[in-house]
Amino acid sequence: MIRLGIIGAGRIGKVHCESIGRYVKDAVVACVADPFMNDETEKIVRSFGAQKVCKDYREILDDKTIDAVLICSSTDTHAKISIEAIEAGKHVFCEKPVDHDLAKIEQVKKALEGSKLKYQVGFNRRFDHNFEAVRDAISSGRIGHLDVLKICSRDPGAPSVDYIKVSGGIFLDMTIHDFDMVRFLSGDEVESVYAVGGVTVDKAIGEAGDIDTAIVTMKLKGGTLAVIDNCRRATYGYDQRAEAFGALGQVAISNDCKSSAVISDADGVTAEKPLYFFLERYMQAYVKEISEFVRCIREDMPVPVGIEDGLQAVAIGLAAKKSLATGAPVKL
């Protein structure tokens, strides 16, 4: 049984605690650490099977019986705790992004050199059944050479302005998933990025120095053109779609809904709205990514999403920020 420690008991920390406790085989949550741990949070994580709670994450790092840690704390702590965990001999699962600074991600890479420790980055969408189907259609050659890749990612509502101020901006917080999807689906690297954006949802987001709506176009090294559209508001739910167009055909995925029921009557044809948010849409993907992480530890296999994947997504995000600021395409 792989013993896991979770550092950070916020929203994503609780998601992982629940998925491990209820669905992940061969693993147990040995401890959850959070400096703001209180009775309510302790009750929640213990209900998911956490054996112990504490306020200082170093208790997890010092516990020789714990095999691996999940870093679910604030982004500004990810690289620091990653290095400390590696030095403590722990396998690491780190939520995205590893850091907003490429130099700090490189420090994590350096800390991993020469070790046999597993380090997986939390890009959960790679484990979603819909996106996996697109990847399979492309990698198998079913649709031929990939000419155009389109990704749509729209949230049902914007986060608080306080969150926006510390998020690193839309490209490093929201679009970073889509940048990783471009690399994952295409199997190729991004050559150049051009980004445009605006504030169409909440002027307070603009006042905080960010945008809430964006379109990013990319040219990949193999010649594929990719387009991402993002918005912090979709009144009908969590909009997550993709289309890949190739020389032999195309593959497209739509949103997951509560059911596939379509009602046709005198008033028209109606269907279910998309699932409302990422916790509903991607819970099974969260389960699968941690299951794979545990399997890689048990069977000494390479992780499916490594530190280089974490670095590349941030590099693309920073290029997009530069492009937005300058109004010109940016080469990676």
CATH number assigned to the domain comprising residue 81: 3.40.50.720
Q: Provide the number of structural domains found in the chain.
A: 2
Torsion of CA 318, 290, 278, 245, to 10 degrees: 60
pTM of the predicted model as reported, rounded to 2 decimal places = 0.95
Q: Give the domain-ending residue among 117, 137, 158.
A: 117
Same domain, 143 and 209: yes
Same domain, 193 and 321: yes
Q: Give the domain-ending residue among 61, 84, 117.
A: 117
Among 328, 4, 12, 9, residue whose Cα is nearest residue 177 = 12
What is the rounded CA–CA span in Å between residue 173 and residue 169?
Answer: 6
CATH of the domain at 181: 3.30.360.10
Among 108, 34, 39, residue whose Cα is nearest residue 74 = 34
What is the rounded CA–CA span in Å between residue 56 and residue 96?
Answer: 22
> Before 97, cis peptide (omega within 30)?
yes
307 belongs to a structural domain: no
Q: Residue 264: CB partners within 8 Å, gap ≥ 6?
A: none
User: In the prediction, which pLDDT does 278 show?
Assistant: 76
Same domain, 233 and 210: yes
User: In the prediction, which pLDDT does 153 show?
Assistant: 97
Same domain, 269 and 137: yes
Same domain, 113 and 223: no
221 belongs to a structural domain: yes
Structural domain boundaries, residue 143: 126-279+313-331
Tens of pLDDT along the chain (332 residues) come to 999 999 999 999 999 999 999 999 899 999 999 999 999 999 999 999 999 999 999 999 999 999 999 999 999 999 999 999 999 999 999 999 999 999 999 999 999 999 999 999 999 999 999 999 999 999 999 999 999 999 999 999 999 999 999 999 999 999 999 999 999 999 999 999 999 999 999 999 999 999 999 999 999 999 999 999 999 999 999 999 999 999 999 999 999 998 889 999 999 999 999 988 777 889 999 999 999 999 999 999 999 999 999 999 999 999 999 999 999 999 99
Same domain, 192 and 241: yes
